[in-house]
Structure 1
């Protein structure tokens, strides 16, 4: 009510003064947008989306602990990609290097050869990863459940991180997942995060593969 009253008062005072009206309108619009920005920034969500998971994982890999929802909310990017300086500089955040739900039809012969070399790391997983052109493609099995999707995305983030440091990135990423993933998830639960699923787009493309007697993967 007070806002409506002040608005009516301002309209009465500025009546007939076009310049003052426009200055008032622009000033109040900017203030309104800033207030909305701060309101969204103050939200502390316990669900896991792409960027939130990436921030949490990066901090955990560096410090062995996880941030609280309040701490993560201060680091998340609120403005969309097209409105930020990152588009001009062509800078990608870690989670933007990981492509979840890649199409199996995109695989070339060279990709299949690379998968053949790394397939042993995904024998018991409902997904497999392919590092290609500086990014990580995640192929999801038809039988994968929500927890598999979350694990595959975390694995993809870990692989993307090791790709920048080591040639044996698949080996190191697999070792990290074996040794640290369960600890990471446990610490997330302690801080109140929901670890049952990853908030992601609908995964339309899923693949089906089986392992033969010699652990040969076929599609």
Structure 2
């Protein structure tokens, strides 16, 4: 209410000063708009978000995989770009401190996973044949999601019956898959091969089943809310009878 009153008073004062001058009106509009945007920017930067979206979660998980510790809320918020989906607008203002606590090896996966991740994929996005589909359903029979890699994309399929933490768990597996790819040189050889013993999907899922609760507890200990992933997946769902809707 106070800011609204100040704005009205400022508008009246400027109108009295500039009268009907178009050039002065445009100049004052530009200055006031810049001030307004700058204040919004500083307000946005002052907020310390405790929830996990795909980018923040990837930063947390990547750092955990590298150091064994979850980074703090302040460190992660300082690294998140203002426009995650618009790469040419991603910048950090000169007055904003960047965190030196997060390694570059943790920052790179977060940026790349953001581009490669597809939540709520259709079954046809993830598999090319019946053998791959059966292998995935067998591997993920006890999970609320199915994860596969197709043409460089991490395709996460959501089941109809699921837990609200399934998307967060699937993203942890995506981060470990990325780690296997970059640090161990284990790349995808097709869904059916990846689901077999020693395949990267099986290796990563077994790791996630062992470590997910640990990374959750470590994240919660530094203040993160790990109830689920803040995201807008596609509306596709996988039924228990292997039908995608």
With the shorter chain as reference, the TM-score category is: 0.7 to 0.9
* Paired position in structure 2 for 1:214: none
* CA 1:118–1:163: 2 relative to 1, 3 Å: farther
CA 21–42 in structure 1, closer or farther in 2 if over 3 Å, else same? same
1:44 aligns with 2:64: no
Aligned length: 206
Question: What corresponds to 2:120 in structure 1?
Answer: 101
> Which of 164, 170, 175 is equivalent to 1:157?
175
Task: Measure, in 1, the Cα distance between the counterparts of 2:151 and 2:233.
Answer: 24
CA distance in 2, matches of 1:106, 1:94: 17
Equivalent position SS for 2:11:
helix
Kindly report which structure 2 residues correspond to 1:1-219, keeping only aligned pairs within 5 A, or say none: 1-79=5-83, 81-82=85-86, 84=88, 93-106=112-125, 108-110=127-129, 112-114=130-132, 121-164=139-182, 165-167=185-187, 169-201=200-232, 204-209=235-240
Distance 1:203 1:106, change over 3 A: closer
Q: Could you say what the CA RMSD is over the residues aligned between the two structures, in angstroms?
A: 2.8
Distance 1:133 1:199 in 2: 25
Cα deviation, 1:148-175, whole Å, max 9, x if unaligned, reads 2321222123223433442353354235
Unpaired runs of at least 5, structure 1: 87-91, 211-217
Q: Do 1:47 and 1:199's aligned partners in 2 also have CA atoms closer than 8 Å?
A: yes
* Unaligned stretches of 5+ residues in structure 2: 91-110, 188-198
Deviation string for 1:127-149 (max 9, x for gaps)?
22111111111122222110223
Length-normalised TM-score, structure 1? 0.78
Q: 1:119 to 1:186 in 2, by over 3 A?
A: same
How far did residue 119 of structure 1 move? 6.2
TM-score (structure 2 length as normaliser): 0.71
**Residues 191/157 of structure 1: CA separation in 2 closer, same or farther (3 Å cut):** same
Q: Which moved more, 1:162-171 or 1:45-54?
A: 162-171
Shift of residue 180 of structure 1?
A: 2.9
1:48–1:199 contact (8 Å) kept in structure 2:
yes
Distance 1:199 1:116 in 2: 30
Quick one: distance in 1 between partners of 2:128 and 2:76? 41
- Residue 208 to residue 6, structure 1, CA distance change in 2 (3 Å): closer
2-side partners of 1:101 and 1:78: how far apart? 24
